Chains A and B, each alone.
Chain A
């Protein structure tokens, strides 16, 4: 049995490690072979970018060697897939090598596409890459006062990030003693300040308390760099001195190039996590078109279901679990407090008041991630 995992992010790594552990005797006996193909020999802890943007972490803290995170029984190659031949059960990599499989797991992730919005790449800061997070910190550090506009593209990874950015900025400028010189205006695509109704209800009085101005139903149409103006599809506009964007995201180009899904998102069964029409192809994390958050947390819980089901198919001939849409997201509510949102397909999140211990837990999790991605937590 050949299991091929394409992509070495959170979802792919947890699937591979979890499988290697569940199928340890089968891999030792060479009845099962697990292979991972990735575009990089490094693994990034992406939630850490928010801390880089506020000078609380440095980029080197976000990386580990991918090989060091994987069980030794997993064959790992830095050789990204370029062709998916799902009808022939094989893929072809950049180096030209063909990998046959019996079970395929696609975990290629997502990417930012600020270029979809005219002026956004040139006119807005962001923190979704290492370089941009460092650049944003430098801009914030040199900011002495004026108007900051925050805009949010659709779809975007980590839906909690926009409100975390606001809370962090409030605390950052407060700690510098210039909060009264900084106007912060938050723009959000739908008719409330967060897509999760309970988060919106909880965050609104917090925004009011912090003096955050907000405009809802604002979908970014273009950035007029010459005049420092950002305009919306809804025909409104805001002026700024510093523009910060949560950029829109797409799936990876290889998914679109192989016609596996519009926008790079693969049509996926919301419970089985198999690609529609292919029972031996699983999809995990950002790569799915599921109506769940594009977060490491969703990828983690999906990965557990996928690996348990693949292992049980091999051991007893049938999957044993359905994915219930579970997501657990920490919400940093400043530099010393946090809360969390946990929900699934049937149950909305019930937010608790933010607290310092929850912030410490998040800070601990930033380190524990490396245990989690090894499939141990």
Chain B
């Protein structure tokens, strides 16, 4: 996997941004960085909640022009 993989989950309701992130996180190697793009208003809070609970690492979390850009490092 590349150094930073973009997961474009904008404008999706099912399976939804967090489910997309979990899918790609399973395929990633420890240390890989993934950036989730989401237009789901809840992603700014939902995604960090899951990332923290599982034990991965949030590198950045910002909303730009209505799109959440959340960068995560797979930690385990």
Binding site for B on A (CB under 8 A): 116, 154-155, 159, 189-191, 195-197, 217, 219, 233-234, 248, 262-263, 291-294, 325, 327, 341, 343, 345-346, 348-349
Contact = CB atoms under 8 A, between A and B. Distances in A.
Contact of B19 (A154, A233, A343, A349): A154
Contacts of B34: none
B68 to A, nearest CB: 14
Interface residues of B, number: 23
Nearest to A160: B14
B58 interface: no
A23 to B, nearest CB: 32
Interface string B14-57: 11111110110011000000000000001000100110011000
B70 interface: no
Given A159-B19, A291-B17, A325-B11, 11 more contacts: A116-B26, A154-B19, A154-B23, A190-B50, A191-B18, A195-B13, A219-B54, A233-B54, A263-B23, A291-B9, A345-B11
B7 to A, nearest CB: 8
A309 to B, nearest CB: 21
B20 A291 contact: yes
29 contacts: A116-B26, A154-B19, A154-B22, A154-B23, A155-B23, A189-B18, A190-B19, A190-B22, A191-B46, A195-B14, A195-B15, A197-B13, A217-B49, A217-B53, A262-B1, A262-B27, A263-B27, A291-B12, A291-B15, A291-B17, A291-B20, A292-B12, A293-B14, A294-B15, A325-B11, A327-B14, A341-B14, A346-B11, A348-B13
Contacts of B46: 190-191
Pick from A190, A191, A262, A293 the residue with the most CB of B within 10 Å.
Answer: A190
Contacts of B14: 159, 195-196, 292-293, 327, 341, 343
A234 B1 CA distance: 24
A217 B48 CA distance: 12
A217 B20 CA distance: 14
10 shortest interchain CB distances as A-B pairs = A291-B12, A345-B11, A195-B16, A155-B23, A293-B14, A190-B18, A154-B22, A234-B53, A348-B13, A291-B9
A299 to B, nearest CB: 14
A191 B53 CA distance: 11
Contact of A190 (B13, B16, B26): B16
A348 B11 CA distance: 9
Nearest to A341: B14
Interface centre among B8, B9, B26, B46 (most CB of A within 10 A): B26
